[in-house]
Structure 1
Amino acid sequence: MTVLQESAPTRQAPPAARRGIVVVHGSRQHWLMRAVLVVLAVLFLVWAANLAPFRVGQMTNVFVIAIAIAGLNLVTGYTGLLSIGHSAFFGLGAYTTGILVTRYELAPLATVPVAIVLGFAVGLAVGLPSLRIKGLYLALVTLAVGVSFPEIVRRAEDLTGGAAGLVIRSRFLAPPEWTGLVRAERGLWMFWLSALVLVVVMVLARSIVRSRFGLAMQAVRDNEIAAAANGVDVARTKILVFGVSGAITALAGALFAQYVGALSPDGSFTLLKSIELITGLVLGGVATTAGPLVGAFAVVFLPQLTGSFSTGPLSGVVFGVVLIAIVFLMPEGIVGRATIWLRRVLTILPADHPDVTRRSSPPS
């Protein structure tokens, strides 16, 4: 139901024009709908966890990518700052976990807070240029960050393994003893861990967007001059959102390192990863809560789906045509378009809406 409230604002139709189901926010029906959605999500996770190991790994990859897209969504979707270098934050989190586990034998979960702090610090630094430049010029700065990261990894050979990559032995990635899972069930452990972290990140992102800071982010996106005139600290908002976005994307990278167990600068940390994240954000729906998850499903499974209809170079052409068709038919993204369709049959009104108060007030 969050998607219904966070989509692009539309004028509420008069009571006579409304069709379908009308639900008051916070009412018993509203909470029942939320409970049904939660139950369906839990059932889906239980079903997915019992699939073949390959499919479970694909689902884990979807969750990890969705976390990274959620971080990008804060800075690009809600604040309007185009970033093409989020692959650097993703790689920073992954190599932080890889180095701490292989060099210092830290538990994989213990490396996650370190990756988050480093992602936040680097995000603040990358956000500094946004104080003076914006638009395509800011995109070029983030592009330079994304391009330079693989080269930095190659040159820091003693620490990162250089071009040869960094391999994390499976004994370091075994599930914690308290889970009751053995080393052979690492895939199942990463599935549930990634799913839980994704839920936390989505709730956190939703809370941020609905806070005063979230309102400041959206004000900066819509009109910086008007936002500053109304007391919004534009510089602070831009820098902080880059930091938070970098921290969330680095968190995704840390989970990715635990999932794959092998890192390479030419593997998942080039500009192709940034393009993948941006593609997922656009396909899922910019500035929506569920958009990152839907977009992650799209970038993981769409290439396989289009590849099943064609082989060789033609499969890439088919994939490109499908992407163009989706963007053309659904410029709001899949979640945005689904929200428009859903609003035709379901309307959620706030508790203080005039129609609600008029209906509940006793006749004079």
Structure 2
Amino acid sequence: MKLPVVVKRDSAAYRGLYVAALIAIAVLVFWGSTLERFEMGQVTRVMIFAIAIAGLNIATGYTGLLSVGHSAFFGIGAYTTGILVVKHDWAAWATIPVSAFVCLIVGLLVGLPALRIRGLYLAMVTLAFAVAFPEMVARFDGLTGGSSGMSIPRALLRPPEWSGYALGQKDVWLYWVAIVVLLVTMYLIRSLIRSRYGLAMTAVRQNEIAAASSGMNIAVVKVAMFGISGAITGAAGGLFAMYLGSLYAEGSFTLLAGITLLIGLVIGGERTLLGPLIGGVITVYVPYYTSDLGQGQASAVLFAVVLILVIFLAPSGIAGGLGRLGRRFVVFRPARPAPVAGRSANPPDAHRAPPVPDGSLTVKERQDS
């Protein structure tokens, strides 16, 4: 058999592979719900970080707006959930859209400097945003708990009655909530990058001058994508607050957390759908397993070595490397468009002269006569 095998979209083979992939995903999801409490919590944490990295992928990966301050969006989403649950008696799951909306507004405001600057200078602005966030939390201690942090009582994180889960099954409930948010996020991102706005994002990333000269509104694209990026990461922050049950800005939402999200994106693979999920796995499990090999600084050094090795082995990220490897065996091609009704499937050659009706003269015959 000749490799790679070409599979046309909308063909029977393509639909079979698509259904097989859906079945495999469903099996993995239901298998995850049967894990022990700690292992299920780790998987939930992977999905939360995957959502946060997917938000960063919108701004940095697809649009080319380098940001190292997405930990602030992560923290704003978490504190929005915490404040609404503790001080206003909201159901925890109902705060996730609010966290996303608040971070959308903040993202639009933070994205305004991207109208004038880009690259390293924009990264410095987002860095200042990340550094300032813990200080702002400490300043508004009456609302956020300040440097003492905010604790969310376990009873307030009780699953809703309609879910069928009891208070002791909070981990299972949160696992399914994270699954739903992750799937919705991936679907929305997939739809976005396949739309005309996805083409605009690519144009802005590759050449802003050429995009502007073609009539594209660069300002709207930059600010809107930064806002959407912040909203997705804020939703992940709301889930993170439900997962932890306690918030401490100096511990979970520092500049180091923003750098960790960026590293997860680079290693997982920019401009890919699976890259953030792989980055979430790396972000959660690499520190967990390397911590057994050393204590303190030794653990951090081992973590850095593992990350550097992955970067050297897969410069385009793990998802990009797997994609190139897969294309050696299977290549997906677009299906040939169906012929329009009333038209021939094999139209005549455009350069061929049309047939001459009986009794009429061609142009050459008229010239000769």
Name stretches of at least 5 consecutive residues in structure 1 with no aligned partner. Answer: 1-15, 354-360
1:253 aligns with 2:253: no
Matches within 5 A, 1:278-293: 278-293=262-277
Matched, 1:159 2:143: yes
**267-276 vs 59-68, greater mean Cα deviation:** 267-276
- 1:89 maps to 73
Q: Does 1:45 align with 2:16?
A: no
Q: CA deviation at 1:342?
A: 0.4
Letter in 1 for 2:331: T
Whole-angstrom distance in 2 between the partners of 1:318 and 1:99: 37
SS at match of 1:84: coil
Question: Which residues in structure 2 correspond to 1:172-183 (within 5 Å)?
Answer: 172-183=156-167
> 2:332 aligns to what SS in structure 1?
strand
Is the partner of 2:249 in helix, strand or coil? Answer: coil
The question of 1:104 aligning with 2:88 is answered: yes
Distance 1:327 1:159 in 2: 41
Q: For residues 265 and 141 of structure 1, what CA distance do their matches in structure 2 show?
A: 19
**Deviation sequence 1:22-49 (CA, Å, 0-9, x none):** 1101222112111111111111111121
Q: Deviations over 1:290-331 (max 9, x none)?
A: 100011001111122333444553332222111111101100
- Aligned-residue Cα RMSD (Å) equals 1.6
| Equivalent residue in structure 2 for 1:344, among 299, 320, 328 | 328
1:276 paired residue number: 260
- For the pair shown, the structure with the greater C-alpha radius of gyration is 2
Residue identity matched to 2:65: L
Task: Show CA shifts across 1:181-211 (max 9, x none).
Answer: 1000000110111011101101111111111
Amino acid in the other structure paired with 2:135 = E
Note the 1:54-133 alignment, pairs <5 A: 54-133=38-117
- TM-superposition CA deviations, 1:117-139 (whole Å, max 9, x none): 11110000001000011110000
Q: Give me the TM-score of the superposition, normalised by structure 1.
A: 0.90
Q: Deviations over 1:191-243 (max 9, x none)?
A: 11101110110111111111111110110000000111112110000000011
Deviations 1:47-100 (A, max 9, x none): 121111001000110000000000000000000000111011111110001001
Equivalent-residue separation in structure 1 for 2:159 and 2:14 (angstroms): 38
Question: Whole-Å Cα distance in 1 between the matches of residues 172 and 25 of structure 2?
Answer: 17
Question: Residues 118-165 of structure 1: CA distance to partner in whole angstroms, max 9, x if unpaired?
Answer: 111000000100001111000000111111011000010100010111
1:207 aligns with 2:191: yes
| SS of equivalent residue, structure 2 residue 65 | coil
In structure 1, C-alpha distance between the alignment counterparts of 2:5 and 2:249, rounded to whole Å? 52
1:224 aligns with 208
- Between stretches 29-38 and 181-190, larger displacement belongs to 29-38
Which residue of structure 2 lines up, in the alignment, with residue 170 of structure 1?
154
Match of 2:360 in 1: none
Counterparts of 2:297 and 2:77, CA distance in 1: 33
1:319 counterpart (281, 285, 303): 303
Name the SS for the 1:134 alignment partner.
coil
Cα distance, 1:116–1:312 mapped onto 2, change above 3 Å: closer
Letter in 1 for 2:47: F
Residue 301 (structure 1) aligned to one of 277, 282, 285:
285
Question: 1:196 aligned to 2:198?
Answer: no
For residue 341 of structure 2, what is the aligned residue in structure 1?
A: none
Question: Aligned AA for 2:87?
Answer: R
Shift of 1:347: 0.6
Mapped partners of 1:352, 1:310: distance in 2: 57
Distance 2:150 2:291 in 1: 31
Moved more, 306-315 or 188-197: 306-315
Partner Cα distance (2:296, 2:135) in 1: 30
Query: What's the TM-score once normalised by structure 2's chain length?
Result: 0.89
User: In the alignment, residue 225 of structure 2 is paired with which amino acid?
Assistant: V
3-state DSSP of counterpart to 1:266: helix
- One-letter amino acid matched to 2:19: A
Aligned-pair identity in percent equals 49
| Partner residue in 2 for 1:330 | 314
The number of aligned residues is 340
